[in-house]
Amino acid sequence: MSVATASAEPGVAQPLPVKRLLSLDTLRGFDMFWIMGAEDVFHVIAKMTGWGWALFLADQFTHPEWNGFRAYDLIFPLFIFMAGVSTPFSLGSRLEKGDAKAALAKKVVTRGVVLVILGIIYNNGLFEKPWHELRFGSVLGRIGLAGMFAQLIYLYAGDKGRYYAFFGILLGYWALLTLVPVPGCGAGVLTMECSLPGYIDRLLMPGHLYKTVHDPEGLLSTLPAICNALLGIYAGTLLRKDGRSVSQEKKTTRLLVLGAAFVAAGWLWDFVFPINKNLWTSSFMLVTGGLSLLLLAVFYWIIDVKGYHKWTFFFTVIGMNSILIYLAGEFIDFEYAAKFFFGGLVGFLSQEWLKAALLMTGVLAVKWAFLYFMYKKKTFLRV
């Protein structure tokens, strides 16, 4: 891990920044905007007013208890997808320059391991808990592992090999979860207590699991997440092609058509293999992967094809330091700073929901100002 100033091209296996695709940095910033706490504004308004539109949006910014899908479920897999999109721009350019695959693979593995370690620290702090109380599964760990395996496949497999890996993982994961029996439960019982991923987590993962009998960032359920990154690699490979071989319009159309097809296939698969984020089922992967393709197509068309990019700066500042802002919340009290800067203004408001919403907006503003300062200093956290 390093804090580096901006360079001429992206670091190896590093998902930010990719200068040739402003749309990717913007989309990443848009994704992280909600993780930074933008959803809290809707939750506060919904809780304190009971307005129908606010309740609907607040509900979309929650996760289903088990099966099902809401907009909030897309944020995590979209980030993994975007790490895949950047791969052909970073690793691909190095391969074309003659860099050895072994050296690149070493850097890929190192980055994956570092993200796993950062995820453990994010969950548990530094040396604050005994070994048996640590939670080892994490969001950063899944990003690291899924991206690592996808990038290794990119390095050592051709296009056909990646397609075989993609569909093989999805179908193989479906077969595992529906055909392999779990002691005391049998085969194909996809509940929290009886699913095969939960059983594997209880059997093999050290420390404690997030949901006691199951960890949503567990071992086996990392497999289909690799496919989110592989799909991103497909998209990045397409977008990196010379415009003379594939026009920008055709690139956009292919992303839109494939995205719509994947979303439809995922919802059809839901009838026999439920869409479930906790298990990261193959149907969940197809729906989130399809939506990721659609979002990328829209951002690419608006920003890189049509050239409407003046509005992107707000999100680009976030997207170029996405890992930093994700980690910073554990070590910096942004709410304290927000109260310091906005507390006086809050005091002039009479309605409680306005006070709470303004404070949440103030937290977002402070976080963005922090990222803007890092951006102006050309300082980016790279792994």
Q: Tell me, yes or no, whether 323 lies in a domain.
A: yes
Q: Tell me, yes or no, whether 170 lies in a domain.
A: yes
127 band by pLDDT with thresholds 50, 70 and 90? low
In the chain, the number of structural domains is: 1
15 band by pLDDT with thresholds 50, 70 and 90? very low
For residue 347, what pLDDT is reported? 61
For residues 225 and 285, give the distance between their C-alpha atoms in angstroms, rounded to a whole number.
Answer: 7
Q: Tell me, yes or no, whether 164 lies in a domain.
A: yes
Best CA proximity match to 36, nearest among 313, 322, 296:
322
Residue 28: pLDDT over 70: yes
Over range 211-236, report the average pLDDT.
95
Q: Tell me, yes or no, whether 344 lies in a domain.
A: yes
Phi, psi of 3, deg, nearest 5: -105, 115
186 band by pLDDT with thresholds 50, 70 and 90? very high
Report the mean per-residue pLDDT for the chain: 87
Residues 156-183 have pLDDT tens digits of 998 899 999 999 999 999 999 999 999 9
Q: Tell me, yes or no, whether 204 lies in a domain.
A: yes
Residue 2: pLDDT over 80: no
Q: Tell me, yes or no, whether 252 lies in a domain.
A: yes
The CB density around residue 363, as the number of other CB atoms within 10 Å, is 24
221 band by pLDDT with thresholds 50, 70 and 90? very high
Out of 51-65, 139-153, 180-194, 196-210, least confident range: 51-65
For residue 292, what pLDDT is reported? 97
Q: Tell me, yes or no, whether 338 lies in a domain.
A: yes
Q: Tell me, yes or no, whether 68 lies in a domain.
A: no
Q: Which domain does 16 fall in, by range?
A: 2-63+73-382
Residue 32: exposed, middle, or buried by beta-carbon count in 10 A (0-12, 13-18, 19+)? buried
